[in-house]
Structure 1
Amino acid sequence: MGKSPHLIRLDRASGRREIVANHWLRVAEASDDAVPPHTLLPLSEWLARRDELLERTDVGVWFKPDDEPESLGDDARRLSVIAVDFPAFTDGRGFSIGRLLRERYGYAGELRAVGDVFKDTMLYLRRCGFDAFEVRIDKDVEDAAKGLDDFDEFYQNGVDQPLPLFRRRSA
């Protein structure tokens, strides 16, 4: 599967962002050998090797659109990186996975969007709790980062803003 050379990382507290080199390798499946540092394993592989990998902070998990966050459960809190694959921009299941990981399972580490990630999806991904974005290789990473600035006020609540506008105004 490989990796995109660049990653947009967002500091959720300050809103600052930076474009950094991507040091994590996402693999389709691991061998029975030792898992190298900075590897993102498919959820199924993680579950099969959970006991061996649980204490490692240099191994992460990536979700396919049909994976269920419930199968990772509270283990999510122990991981430093979780990636969610968006194979096509028309597949919105990853948005739900992101929200579930943040809101139901209390995941506080880096939540990374991978796959068909580009400027038009960035803001919506942020609203669902994503704070790192592996932009498609055929898209300009600097231009994609501008997508995070498309709007500065929202009617609806989101992971990044728990109260809807009418509650914020009445407060």
Structure 2
Amino acid sequence: MKFIAPHQDPWQRVVGEDGPVPHPPTVSHRLLTLEQWHAVREHWPRELPTAVEVANDFDIEGLVEDLPRLALVVLKFPKWVDGRAYSQARLLRSRYRFAGEIRATGEVLVDMLPLLQRCGFDAVTLRADQNLEAARRALGFFPAHYQGDVLQPQPVFAKVAA
């Protein structure tokens, strides 16, 4: 799991009245809202690394045709108790075979990390009050699971010495 510090994130949000500009002089990784992406995708350069931020109530199937052009999909957790982004990530990985980065943002707590990883997230931006060392430890709490996930479709059971 990659932990993203907002001030060190190479992906830059596109802001301004004119919308996204394909070739900015200083930024090579553009993070667009879904609305911005839909407005520019027809003429957006294919070689430009692009990311899209998606609300958790968006039907992820609406993004499927664009997935080959995206390097990153950012899924938002507006509240830590709203888990729809887990399902979005699971669909991106298992049904649509998205191989790019899937990042969780918003109200992302340390307690959520094991499930985020099992659903297909590979990067997170933790909520500001969360501890990075505690987050790293949380990923090691469960070495095996009874159910499969996007990383390991079949569970792996430890062999018991007889």
The answer as to whether partners of 1:29 and 1:42 remain within 8 angstroms in 2 is no
2:119 corresponds, among 119, 128, 132, to 128
State TM-score, norm by structure 2.
Answer: 0.82
Q: SS in structure 1 opposite 2:150?
A: coil
* Aligned partner letter, 2:50: V
Change (3 A) 1:152 1:33: closer
Aligned counterparts, 1:18-167, within 5 A: 21-26=8-13, 31-35=18-22, 36=24, 37-53=28-44, 55-164=46-155
Q: CA deviation at 1:163?
A: 1.0
Q: CA deviation at 1:28?
A: 7.5
Q: Deviations over 1:104-138 (max 9, x none)?
A: 21110111111111210011000000101111122
State TM-score, norm by structure 1.
Answer: 0.78
Aligned length: 153
Q: What is the CA RMSD across the aligned residues, in angstroms? A: 2.5
Query: Structure 1 unaligned runs (5+)?
Result: 1-7, 10-17
The answer as to whether partners of 1:88 and 1:115 remain within 8 angstroms in 2 is yes
Q: Percent identity?
A: 39
Between structure 1 and structure 2, the one with the greater Rg is: 2
Q: Deviations over 1:22-78 (max 9, x none)?
A: 222345887435155322212222122111226144220011011111111132122
Change (3 A) 1:165 1:41: same
* Aligned partner letter, 1:141: L
Q: SS in structure 2 opposite 1:74?
A: helix
Q: SS in structure 2 opposite 1:124?
A: helix
The answer as to whether partners of 1:24 and 1:40 remain within 8 angstroms in 2 is yes
The answer as to whether partners of 2:20 and 2:40 remain within 8 angstroms in 1 is no
Change (3 A) 1:122 1:26: farther
